[in-house]
Amino acid sequence: MQGQYFHIDIYKRSFYFFMAGVLFMTAALVLWVRSVSATPAYTPYAKSVKSSSAGVINPDNAVGPPNGTTAQMAGLNSILTLDVGAGEEGLQSLKAYFGQISAAVDVNVDFLDSNEGVITSQNRQLAVDANPSTQIFAYNWTSFGKAYRYVRVSSNVVGVGVNLDAVEKTGYIGATATQDTDGDGIPDRTETQNGTNPLVANAPSTNGNGGNNSGSSSNGGATGSGGSSGGGSGTTSSNRGVGSGASKQTGGTAATNSGLSRFFGSGSGLRNVNGWEWLWILLLVIAAIVSWWLALKSKVKAKRPALKHAH
């Protein structure tokens, strides 16, 4: 009977330890997945359809790179709004890929900010064309002080199909790992991950020698002229960067190259975890701690040797 108690208690303790491990790993997995999913997959093309009117057929065909399949805009006041991606908003002109045009038609393109407010608009008449064509709609973020998050394409001609294959940003935030749009010495992608504005210089402002920072910056005390986006010779106090057009940082960003940073990213994913997600993670951790405590408190009863009865 004592041997039976021994096995029950061992299984109970093992079960508590197992549940604690599973709950801890689940909480860590939730944080990791949330962190990874928060990082944008940089692309110059539209990421998704924000909205479309009743006259638009197959709107998803306008998402992604041009591939010969199109969204058809055939109704009166047909409107298709495309999302070019959070953290990778457009900075420069938009290249629109159209399919066959069966009749001359006016097309309007609106550049919208993250709140869907109109930044600027352009109207163009497309001529009859049996072949696919490409149109470029001019945009420069410096003229407006902002990037565009959404592109709204509309046509007001009944029965004439405007076939849109894709839209492409010719310049956008974070286009490369080293791109520094505001010239403050901090790459766009790092600023996006850290929650700062890649269009506003967060490090000291330019010194007039090619759009680079002077003084000390928050990511390692960069000083000199020529650090990131312009010419000149650049030096840094703690980063030891020298060169024209780019500085080589070895001090200020060392922390971001640690093992935890490579696993969890820069932490932007953790900042984007909402209240309900934090609550579930907290409950998982509490349940894991309780399971661990129960495992430690559970007693293991040793099997006593059978007593020999004297005859």
With 0.95 as the threshold, say if the pTM is over it: no
Please give the pLDDT value at position 238. Answer: 36
Task: Please check whether residue 79 is in contact with residue 52, taking contact to mean a CB–CB distance below 8 angstroms.
Answer: yes
CATH superfamily for 48-169 is Galactose-binding domain-like (2.60.120.260)
Task: Please check whether residue 158 is in contact with residue 75, taking contact to mean a CB–CB distance below 8 angstroms.
Answer: yes
Please give the pLDDT value at position 165. Answer: 96
Task: Please check whether residue 174 is in contact with residue 197, taking contact to mean a CB–CB distance below 8 angstroms.
Answer: no
CB-count exposure of residue 67 (10 Å: 0-12, 13-18, 19+): exposed
Please give the pLDDT value at position 214. Answer: 36
Please give the pLDDT value at position 288. Answer: 76
Write the DSSP assignment of 219-235 as a string of letters. TT-EEES-SSSS-S-EE
Please give the pLDDT value at position 14. Answer: 74
pLDDT tens digits, one per residue of 8-33: 566 676 777 777 777 777 777 776 66
User: Phi-psi region for residue 245, left (φ > 0), alpha (ψ -120 to 50) or beta?
Assistant: left
Coil vs helix vs strand at 284: helix
Nearest CA to 93 among 142, 155, 162?
Answer: 142
Beta-carbon contacts of 86 under 8 Å, excluding residues fewer than 6 positions away, are 40, 114, 149
Which ranges of the chain have pLDDT less than 50?
1-6, 205-271
